[in-house]
Amino acid sequence: MEAIRELQRVRERLETQLRAIQSEMDAVSKAIKVLEREQPQSVEIKGKELSALTFTDAVRRLISEEYVTPLKVRDQLIRGGFPHSKDKTKLLNSVWATMQRLVKGSGFEQGKLDGKFAVRRTRSSESTLPLGDQKAAVQ
Q: What is the pLDDT of residues 27-60, one digit of tens each?
A: 888 887 777 666 544 445 544 677 778 889 889 9
Dihedral pair phi/psi, residue 66, rounded to 5°: -100, 145
**pLDDT digit string, tens, across residues 99-136:** 999 999 888 999 998 899 999 988 765 444 554 444 44
Q: 3-class secondary structure for 11-63?
A: HHHHHHHHHHHHHHHHHHHHHHHHHHHHCCCCCCCCCCHHHHCCHHHHHHHHC
In the prediction, which pLDDT does 100 show?
A: 94
In the prediction, which pLDDT does 139 show?
A: 36
- Tell me how far apart the alpha carbons of residues 41 and 60 are, in angstroms, rounded to a whole number: 17
State the Cα angle at 91 between 86 and 94, rounded to 5°: 155
In the prediction, which pLDDT does 4 show?
A: 93
Residue 72 has pLDDT above 60, yes or no: yes
Q: Which amino acid is at 50?
A: L
Residue 6 has pLDDT above 90, yes or no: yes
- Tell me how far apart the alpha carbons of residues 41 and 66 are, in angstroms, rounded to a whole number: 12
State the Cα angle at 125 between 50 and 62, rounded to 5°: 25
The mean-pLDDT minimum among 23-27, 68-72, 87-91 falls in 87-91
Mean pLDDT for 68-90 is 85
- Tell me how far apart the alpha carbons of residues 135 and 139 are, in angstroms, rounded to a whole number: 7
Mean pLDDT for 15-33 is 89
